[in-house]
Structure 1
Amino acid sequence: MLEADTVNKLYLLLLAVLLLNGCSTDKEAERAAGQNVMPQEMPGDFDFLVRYGYGEATKNEINTYQDTVVKDLIMNGTATADVTLSEDEMRSIYDQMREINIMGTMELVPAKQNCAVTPYQEDSWQITVDGITRDLSWSGETCELTEDAGQLLELRTFIADIVAGKDAYQALPEAEGGYD
């Protein structure tokens, strides 16, 4: 038979386990369920990095974590510029990410993979929202894009257009050559 002190310790241990187990945040539960965990208002820790280009040459990069942009100069390597997006630009990008549920479940691999194309576009993303960081990637190598990959391509194009209007980006050298 167990002593009262031992029973009390076991009850306390059981209570602690139950409390700790039940303390997962709503954000974690929503994320596990594939739901949109992005708050209506843009949180202060919102940042992203997107690398894009053709095939293994994903040398272009927009990085709001470090406020930098890397431009693929193709035959001449890459060039980097310091580019900071305004609060309004970041909010606009955040709103578009929220609209496509970028922190939720995304289908990025097409069901049909019966062809291959070269060169092909490819993106990889890292997004931080409200303490959660998510990595995504898609490739156009299989000739088709899923709806979600198409939305990411549109989002990346939107962001790249904003960056292309910045003086620091415009001061970078022009790319020479192309990808076959």
Structure 2
Amino acid sequence: MKSLIRILFLLLFTWQLLACANTSTILKPQPILPPTVTLNHALFNSDQTEVSPNQPILELTEKQQQIFLANYQKRIGKGVRPDQALAEFLQSKLSSFTYYGETYDAKTAMRLNKGNCMSLAMLSAALAKIAGLEFDFIEVNSIPIFDKQGSLITAIPAARLTY
């Protein structure tokens, strides 16, 4: 009985080796082609305003500057640190700020009191510039804001201003 099991095991093992040896098809790796992207230009509004490199996106109107400076100077007069005075002004604006999918320049974001996180970063930068504070932008690792127009979905990364 033991010899029969050994013979069966030996036959099975030999059969597996022969099966592997008879494989004649050699698979060649197929080159991976990059996907082709075709844009449907009808999905984009042709009436959207383009931002030129010379357009002052971090500037406010005279009236907006006066509103900020009056509030800012009042807080500085009370002994509040400059960066804290700016943060408190922004906090008072944010109570009614509407987070919206559009990106606006600083003056439009302040006038409409709405925009996405990039609009808020530009408004914050404009105020820091007026206050004479040094600032920098940092990309935040968070869930991006998605905007859908027709069947096109775009992702907008979040940004934060540091000063």
Class of the TM-score when normalised by the shorter of the 2 chains: under 0.3
Q: Which has the higher helix share?
A: 2
| Larger relative contact order (CA 8 Å, sep ≥ 6) | 1
Higher percent of residues as strand: 1
The TM-score, its normalising length taken from structure 2, stands at 0.22
